[in-house]
Amino acid sequence: MNAIKNGQVLKLYPNVIPVKGYNRSMLVDLQKAAAHLVPNDLVDYLEYPAVSAVEEYTNFIIENELGLFVDREIAACLTPLPTDYYPASKINNAIIELDKNSSWSLPAVLDQLDELGTQFLEVRFLDFYSVVNNLRLLQVFSNETTIESIQLLVPFHKDLKALLDSSLNERFFRLSTILVYNASEGFELEVDFYKLVFTGQEAVSQEHCGNISRNYFRPNTQSYIRSRNYNSCLAHKISVDKNGLIANCPSMNVTFGHVDHTSFSEVLAGNDFQKKWGLTKDKISICSVCEFRAICTDCRAFTMDNAENGKPSKCGYNPFISLWKGEENYLSEQDCGIRIENDGIFIPEEKINEINTRIWG
């Protein structure tokens, strides 16, 4: 994308990605992990070169170090950011739930994750008994696997500090974070190889999944390229719930067998398990016209109208009027007359224009 000034062409740096939304656009600087909201006209200006430069727009780009003017010959040689994505493994991350009644074999599951090249693991302990029963197993059997990082979610308990002190006196090589939930107080441990975080969240529930928030936006090259090619939530992920049932993630209603009777490789061989892996933001209704789609997370467990390609139902942003739920003058998409019809979007443009005029002038 470029514009013209004195015979030179304004080029965005390859790490700066323009994302055009319905109401406004965003310039995402992947290198600086920054995002700039801009008018749609600015992106149009870059895409369709004008005879003379628009000073306001060019100054914004230059001052924010998003691009520069170069000779046409040089501009023709500059290549865009490569966006091909090659997964490092069949399953990149996994989620395991455990409670006091979980009777399936944790070591057997870890062996299967190792065979698939899994790098990131989250273990959700739903009660203190499951921590006592499985923490040492997890430590021993994960050390010789491909897993690089393990996050533990554990409930607060009066005996938790003593358990962690005794169980983790030997280095837990893969452990990155312990998140203690339902915590009314905190404590310190003499550790330097993982983070200890306390939260007042009362429980770990599958219903807590799927929240979309500006606080979760993290512009970076790896996430951007991955989300252009695959669904940011489900692709290359597998989960085992407390009952041993295999799913894309614990919050999904569809399961693919029990770990005692079905292997992960068998699950991956079926088309249904990978069905939603290719559902990128550009293919999701409403998300496809949102300026945040290049840096946003996703959820397929809770969607608007339970539609397969529906907007995450826990997202409170309306891209048609550029407002978040709770902000003054906010209206939902339904309030604006937006409808999903045959997997497409019906947009009453005249009504949307009237609403935006009233809100923004």
pLDDT tens-place string over residues 155-191: 999 999 999 988 876 778 899 999 999 998 888 887 7
What pLDDT band is residue 128 in, cutting at 50, 70 and 90?
Answer: very high
Task: Provide the CB-side half-sphere exposure for 69 (13 A, CA).
Answer: 16
Closest by CA position to 22, among listed 341, 340, 326, 338: 338
Report which secondary-structure segment, H or E, holds 142.
helix 128-142
d(CA 296, CA 298): 7
Work out the mean pLDDT of the chain and round it to a whole number: 91
Highest mean pLDDT among 2-16, 27-41, 185-199: 27-41
- Overall average pLDDT of the 270-288 stretch: 92
C-alpha angle 307/233/280, rounded to 5°? 65
What pLDDT band is residue 5 in, cutting at 50, 70 and 90?
Answer: low
Q: Is the pLDDT of residue 39 over 80?
A: yes
Phi, psi of 289 (to 5 degrees): -115, 20
Using a pLDDT cut of 90, give the percent of the chain over it.
70
pLDDT at position 343: 63
Phi, psi of 89 (to 5 degrees): -155, 165
Reading the block at residue 218, the tokens are 């993290």
- Overall average pLDDT of the 273-299 stretch: 94
The domain segmentation of the chain, as residue ranges, is 2-77, 93-204+237-269, 303-360
Give pTM, 2 decimals: 0.89
